[in-house]
Copies of this chain bind each other. A is one copy, B any other.
């Protein structure tokens, strides 16, 4: 599979000035807003008839938020050019972000067209929500420069981008892309190998599917599902992931104690997703992984961090618990 001919990118990640965004819906438009705010020149193309109008409205709606975050010097919505053709959009680009609808055939064809039109060596990243690049790069002449750069909605606010190549992606293209996103202000996870849905989408897709099952079975309403997250685990997940927060359910014994305590629950029908066998290997991997993630912080440190984090999030979102007390209620 290693018929890689991709020339090195024409400029260093730090030197990129001109970005093409192909597909300007919610995700593509969000990328446009992000890159404009970071001071890039952006060209955009989308085949929808009212695409430019919608895109400029999205950028305008996002701009106050981006201003709060702090704009790069010279950043302006005026540095957006909407082009009439895909070819014009990418002709002079130093990086291409593809955000077309989530249809495999469409992505395959579009990536091949972008490959044909973009300057040699320029990296083309796909915002796909879950297709492996190996499946999408089949039609391109130079598949080596095709990389997944999967953002979260809205890309101008949520830091995460998952970067991963396909079988025929040049390793230097993956490295270049990860560095480029860092320079562009994103938080990057570079995956060692492809898995459908990458990481965060596999996790949120599991939650989403369980939620759909619950709605389908009349077990919970949409609002109850949302409230159960925002008033519950969602408060912790804004700053401490599910693994470390679960470790804290183990008290001073941490993840090992948590697995001892809740391991048997993996056999319970608490979701429609069957759990893996919690054998010694998995047990050890999870415990060791938590130790790595804790990076020297003790359980007490993590508890203090979590507590402060929840308080800060509750305060920031105007939701400190009611202060009403038993005494006050009878006054």
Residues of A within 8 A of B (CB): 14-17, 25-27, 38-40, 54, 61-62, 65, 68-70, 72-75, 101-103, 129-131, 152-154, 157-160, 162, 182-187, 189, 191, 193, 195-216, 219-246, 248-252, 261-262, 264-266, 268-276, 278, 281-282, 285-286, 289-290, 292-293, 300, 303-304, 306-317, 319-330
**Contact across chains for B215 and A244 when beta carbons are under 8 A apart:** no
Question: Nearest B residue to A225 by beta-carbon distance?
Answer: B243
Contact partner of A289 (CB less than 8 A), chosen from B223, B266, B321, is B223
Q: How many copies does the complex hold?
A: 2
13 A-B pairs besides A185-B324, A199-B219, A230-B237 with CB distance below 8 A are A39-B325, A72-B326, A102-B261, A154-B310, A158-B232, A183-B326, A202-B214, A205-B265, A207-B242, A209-B275, A212-B276, A272-B273, A313-B313
Residues in B neighbouring A208, C-beta threshold 8 A: 242, 246
How far does the Cβ of A249 sit from chain B's closest Cβ, in whole Å?
A: 5
**Contact across chains for B326 and A286 when beta carbons are under 8 A apart:** no
Contact partner of A200 (CB less than 8 A), chosen from B54, B221, B233, B272, is B233
| Given contacts A205-B270, A238-B230, A183 and B329 within 8 Å (CB-CB) | yes
| Given contacts A69-B320, A312-B316, A271 and B209 within 8 Å (CB-CB) | yes
Q: Given the complex of chains A and B, what is the CA–CA distance between A61 and B306 in angstroms?
A: 12
Q: Given the complex of chains A and B, what is the CA–CA distance between A75 and B39 in angstroms?
A: 53
**Contact across chains for A69 and B321 when beta carbons are under 8 A apart:** yes
Q: Given the complex of chains A and B, what is the CA–CA distance between A205 and B125 in angstroms?
A: 32
Q: Which 10 A-B pairs have the closest CB atoms?
A: A226-B241, A222-B289, A197-B270, A234-B237, A72-B325, A316-B316, A238-B238, A160-B232, A200-B228, A273-B273
